[in-house]
Structure 1
Amino acid sequence: MRINPALCIRCRGEYNLCGLSYCPVLAELHAKYTLKNIINKEHIDGSSPPSVFVGRIGYPRVNIYPATPPVHGDTSNLEDPRAWLNMGLEDFLSSRLLLIRGSMRVRIEDARNPSRILHDIQVMALSSNSVDSELMLERPVSGRYVLDEHSPPFGPSSPLQKLRINSLPPPPRIIDKVHSDTDLSATEAIWTLYKHGIDVHHISKLLSVGTLGIGKRRRLVPTRWSITAVDKQVSDKMLSEVRDYPLISEYRVYVRSIKDNTFIGILTPHTWLYEWAEAWWPGSTWNLWSGDTVLELDYEGYWGRDDYPSIGGCYYAARIAALEALRSMHRQAAVILWREIYPGFNLPIGVWWVRENIRAMFNGSYEKFYDLRDALSYTAKFLRLPIGKWVSRSYVIRVLTKQSSLTNWLSGG
């Protein structure tokens, strides 16, 4: 996206005159200022949150990247999605890009019999507190960053020569117990950790570095796969409980607007159905060059689905947040989740953005209705895309109505 330089001079990061949800000048300056003494260096000394990324290129041989920022102290907010949600996008970007990565090529099965460096990476990942560590790199780090649709951003990297751990806080007892149990399946391990309050972000990291599951089956899992796997497995487990709950007694509409995004949640008095839909405006992340708004939707019925949704990992990131809400209510519902993404939001920053915003939305207030038409009329006030277009694509509404009268009503027929 080309920005008129005159707008930057007038705006100075305060008014978003360029139309973006963040100030790219501030984000780049923050990162460059902190990294200016790091670029072209081969030794990185700091406190890892801890952080690690496992790539997928070349699978089943992959690159694993332990990461640390060039600062000491409590850096846990660099791996805390709930903290990220309260940051400005430029602050989030600049802080995540401080995570300097050392890369090492490994086989996925090396998780079962790790080298010294891989073992240290696994041990670091078990901790939920910052780990003082040093990365000795084969050559100076470059200025190349990582922006990914599934995982949060990472800073530049260089091949890893040596990893030194200077302090290692003990892991939470439940993590140590599950990691040590080599007879526990990965699915059981994931659910056990979740039940004990370990967030899915940390669980996905443990799965990714091969520290969960039956010993002889443990392996490294690319980060983007582990994130979706944990979201899916935890939400599948919750769904088996939610199906036994009584239905909610009314229609509930939740709305959350934030940084050129609008999230809509509609809970309806019906057995479990679910849909996740996204409408991307021209100029947004995945619709930069089209002249039309693109609406994508995927869904499932009462028994869920066996295939991977075409809409990607956000489907399960939103699903787990919806099922957490229903589980806390001890109620069952058919769930409609819609998201509009407007021009200016053009960053691939990871599915955590969807998960945490849907969580926040369901923790907020809602409006109650006893008629679907009234609920949709209220919802229409917050959407830029005509409500008729949403309804015409909605799987859940089609099942709920089983007739055309609602669509005719919305279109004025």
Structure 2
Amino acid sequence: MQIQRVKYKDIEEIPKIQINKSFKDNFFGSSPAPFVGRYGYPNINIGVLSPQFSGDTSHYDSPKLWSKGNFKIGTIATMRYGLVNSRTSCNIKDVNKQNKLLQLCQEVGMAKSSVELEVNLQSKPQLRLSAEKEIIPFGPHGEIKRARITSNPKVDSRIERVVSDTDLKAAPALRSLYQKGFEETFLNKILSVGNLGLKKNRILVPTRWSITAVDDNIGKDIIKEVKDFQTGDYSLHFGGGWGNYYLILFFPEIWSYELFETYLKKDINPWSKSNYAYSTDYENYQGRKTYAEECAGGYYAARLPVLEKMRENKRQQSALVLRFISEEYNIPLGVWVCREATRKSLLERPLSFSSEELMLKYAQELIKNKFGFDLNLLLKESKLLKNKNTQKKLSEFTSL
């Protein structure tokens, strides 16, 4: 059996496809979210996503709802590809300038529900789809000629306070809102449109980057909490969703984390020279100093639920997480899939083991029976397994 190691940047863009569907250049719609592009940075496109009809469209941008309701891949893709990105060009530092279209995008980003709009585009948008693995897909784009809000956006008072506080840095603002129960998707919106942080530092953040920034910042805060807990036991979770399966192995060690992402079929990942391809990234107790280039945003998205589970259990552990991407995942839906599929796995009843040997043996048999895949191909590459026997124990840290 052969397996090839790949980096995320080598496989990040899915080939474009062309679908014939007519869209109007002038329409009334209801926007559930803004979108900030990254190409041309720092001169980028910012827009609002909206189907070309009015009504509540909040469910068009709600991964938690999709997960809770077990929405199918086709259902989500159909909704998302019906969203028009009505956009305009600006610089990331234009946040504090009097730009009406940018202010419109900021209002959409703050609203607790979808916002009614009237949009006039320069021409009819053409549906030429492209999908990146980190952002949720959407339909065609068009350049805005004019746009206005036709309803009164409802904004949570807690959001208004944080947005109006221009002396509050972005990181503690995110932490505060997360602790109050705001979902990651919503936090990503208000960060991306430049609504958080010190006034002089507020900028537009491309959606792709803001997603990871939210997952990473919240995760780092929880890591600080987790490091105060006693170590847990050997335990295993397995589950997932949307053709993405997560095997999560917890070890009774100080905090460390490793993710493997494995493509199970060559036709899923045509860049692979063998039937199987994998990516991996790792952090020890001290954390990472560089971006997780191989697994990219999926690394931080899967880490967050793992940390949430440790905090829930009040236990500190090393976590080896293995993602298996099957042929069921035939349309990339964005990095939220990693976060929510990991959460689904952690909702499954854990299996406890008395030793590492028994847990790894069970894991190998489980993956062999489920996918016909030799898990040892990945385990022998694991930095976490190699390092955990040489790293300091919790007692050595607490005695310092």
Contact 1:207 1:221 in 2 (8 A): yes
Contact 1:326 1:333 in 2 (8 A): yes
Alpha carbons of structure 1 residues 157 and 216: separation in structure 2 relative to 1, 3 Å = same
Contact 1:136 1:162 in 2 (8 A): yes
For residues 388 and 301 of structure 2, the distance between their equivalents in structure 1, rounded to whole angstroms, comes to: 24
| 2:392 maps to 1:400 | no
Q: How does 1:2-401 map to 2 (within 5 A)?
A: 36=21, 38-39=22-23, 41-49=24-32, 51-85=33-67, 86-248=70-232, 250-287=233-270, 290-311=273-294, 312-383=296-367, 384-401=372-389
Identity of aligned residues (%): 32
Contact 2:266 2:275 in 1 (8 A): no
For residues 375 and 130 of structure 2, the distance between their equivalents in structure 1, rounded to whole angstroms, comes to: 36
CA-atom RMSD in angstroms? 2.0
2:47 match: secondary structure: strand
- TM superposition score normalised by structure 2: 0.88
Q: CA deviation at 1:87?
A: 1.2
C-alpha distance after superposition, 1:350-395 (max 9, x if no partner): 1100001111211221111111111112212331321321220112
Q: CA deviation at 1:227?
A: 0.7
For residues 326 and 289 of structure 1, the distance between their equivalents in structure 2, rounded to whole angstroms, comes to: 35
For residues 74 and 350 of structure 2, the distance between their equivalents in structure 1, rounded to whole angstroms, comes to: 30
For residues 373 and 401 of structure 1, the distance between their equivalents in structure 2, rounded to whole angstroms, comes to: 13
The residue type equivalent to 2:333 in the other structure is I
5+ residue gaps in structure 2? 1-16, 392-400
Ranked by relative contact order (alpha carbons within 8 Å, sequence separation 6 or more), the top structure is 2
Contact 1:279 1:293 in 2 (8 A): yes
For residues 377 and 321 of structure 1, the distance between their equivalents in structure 2, rounded to whole angstroms, comes to: 25
Corresponding residue of 1:11: none
For residues 90 and 148 of structure 1, the distance between their equivalents in structure 2, rounded to whole angstroms, comes to: 17
Contact 1:286 1:346 in 2 (8 A): no
C-alpha distance after superposition, 1:301-352 (max 9, x if no partner): 0011110112211110111111111111111110110011233534332110
For residues 130 and 217 of structure 2, the distance between their equivalents in structure 1, rounded to whole angstroms, comes to: 27
2:131 match: secondary structure: coil
For residues 242 and 307 of structure 2, the distance between their equivalents in structure 1, rounded to whole angstroms, comes to: 25
Q: CA deviation at 1:260?
A: 3.5
For residues 336 and 367 of structure 1, the distance between their equivalents in structure 2, rounded to whole angstroms, comes to: 15
Contact 1:283 1:342 in 2 (8 A): no
1:135 match: secondary structure: strand
For residues 261 and 154 of structure 2, the distance between their equivalents in structure 1, rounded to whole angstroms, comes to: 41
- TM superposition score normalised by structure 1: 0.85
Q: CA deviation at 1:150?
A: 1.1
For residues 226 and 82 of structure 2, the distance between their equivalents in structure 1, rounded to whole angstroms, comes to: 41
The residue type equivalent to 2:357 in the other structure is R
Contact 1:284 1:345 in 2 (8 A): no
The residue type equivalent to 1:398 in the other structure is K
The residue type equivalent to 1:283 in the other structure is K
5+ residue gaps in structure 1? 1-27, 404-413
Q: CA deviation at 1:169?
A: 3.0
Alpha carbons of structure 1 residues 259 and 195: separation in structure 2 relative to 1, 3 Å = closer
Q: CA deviation at 1:54?
A: 0.8
For residues 343 and 291 of structure 1, the distance between their equivalents in structure 2, rounded to whole angstroms, comes to: 16
C-alpha distance after superposition, 1:20-73 (max 9, x if no partner): xxxxxxxx99x97xxx5x52x211212212x11111111110001211112322
The residue type equivalent to 1:282 in the other structure is K
For residues 61 and 301 of structure 1, the distance between their equivalents in structure 2, rounded to whole angstroms, comes to: 37
Corresponding residue of 2:10: none
For residues 352 and 166 of structure 1, the distance between their equivalents in structure 2, rounded to whole angstroms, comes to: 30
